[in-house]
Amino acid sequence: MPKILSVSTFKPPHEIQQHQAAELTRALFSEKFSNIERLLKVFDNGDIETRNICMPLEWFEKEHDFEERNSLYIKHAVNYGVQAVESCLEGENTLNRPVHASEIDAIFFISSSGISTPSIEARIMNLLPFRDDTKRIPIWGLGCAGGAAGISRAYEYCLAYPTANVLVLSVELCSLTFQKDDYSKSNLVGASLFSDGVACALVAGDYSNIKASQPMPKVIATSSKFMPDSEDVMGWDVKNSGLHVIFSKSIPSIIKKWLGPFVHEFLDVNELTKKDIAHFVAHPGGKKVLEAYESALGFDSTKTDISRDILRENGNMSSPTILYVLERFMENKPDTGDYGLMAALGPGFCGELLLLKWE
């Protein structure tokens, strides 16, 4: 079965404390909300301490049209993406040798926070020495589910082509979508939660000539699930000024009702139970989302400790976030034979599950 041999992450240059984001939001929104102090408690209750963004905080005090936002998205996505790819191919702590870009057979590019044609991975291929026959598979619109879905699609590619080496590059610059004149509660919640991040993973087929220097997670199986008629749960409302966040307060309750049967069915098909899962690689959509995971799956809070740490240190970066979580698990070097469950949810409404085994 295909293996995940290397994961790298990249933090954009501007680190902000949660109280700084709250102060900016108070300054921008106080005249529109009579109960602003009560609403700002969302910044304190989310278990987020720091976040990284691609622009300095004062940039968000001014108006910016869609053209400016998207130009910044392309510029920074290419720059940060190059650095994440280079670090992943170096594989300092997991690969037995550096990998040259010419050894990569396919690139899955995952994003939902900006638009680019040609897509970002094509622009990166002009800066790094990839082969000109490298397959390009850009995937847009999966939001927080995108990182897990990218690994799933790379796994399937490597099943079809067992000698293949595949990159999954996930770039989200959610901060660029912040709308200073959008006084909806969704925008306020988004301002308290979302941030920018970049991650890259190397997935290799069974007959790849690239090897790891330690036990690494093998992908055993994957599953996708779609909830019909749920477009209003999360996503973007596209307007002249850019992307406006749609974020339903019902997400935690949906997870509690919907995720449990999805996971248990997936484990049953693979002849496992939740007791067999040593590591829960969960996308930390937010504090309430993690609590909903625990309630739905019957996991105690220790199973989500790493996801909580990533959320506390980075906020919700959308699609790359789960790869930050996976990287932390890999750094902790799970025992050979350990099973892991990778889970992420996104717009659609949809879910993506992967069964991992360290070998």
- How far, in Å, CA of 12 to CA of 343, rounded? 25
* Strands (DSSP E) found in the chain: 3-10, 14-17, 50-53, 106-111, 135-140, 165-173, 196-204, 217-226, 234-239, 242-247, 277-282, 339-346, 350-358
3-class SS at 319? coil
Question: For position 278, what pLDDT does the model report?
Answer: 95
Give the residues of the chain that fall short of pLDDT 50: none
Interior CA angle at 216 toward 210 and 276, to 5°? 150
- How far, in Å, CA of 42 to CA of 44, rounded? 5
CATH number of 217-358: 3.40.47.10
For 49, list phi and psi in degrees, rounded to 5.
-110, -45
Q: Where are the domains of the chain?
A: 3-204, 217-358
- How far, in Å, CA of 117 to CA of 136, rounded? 13
Question: Which residues are 224's β-sheet partners?
Answer: 352
pLDDT tens by residue, 162-172: 999 999 999 99
* Strands (DSSP E) found in 240-338: 242-247, 277-282
- Asked if domains 3-204 and 217-358 share a fold, the reply is yes
pLDDT tens by residue, 51-81: 999 999 999 989 899 999 999 999 999 999 9
Question: For position 187, what pLDDT does the model report?
Answer: 81
CATH number of 3-204: 3.40.47.10
Question: For position 119, what pLDDT does the model report?
Answer: 97
Exposure of 91 in the CB half-sphere (CA atoms within 13 A): 22
Reported pTM: 0.95
DSSP per residue, 53-97 = ESS-GGGGGS---HHHHHHHHHHHHHHHHHHHHHHHHH-TTTBSS
Question: For position 77, what pLDDT does the model report?
Answer: 98
Question: Which residues are 345's β-sheet partners?
Answer: 351
3-class SS at 133? coil
CA distances from 97 to 93, 107, 326 (A): 10, 20, 21
As annotated, the active-site residues are 144
Question: For position 83, what pLDDT does the model report?
Answer: 98
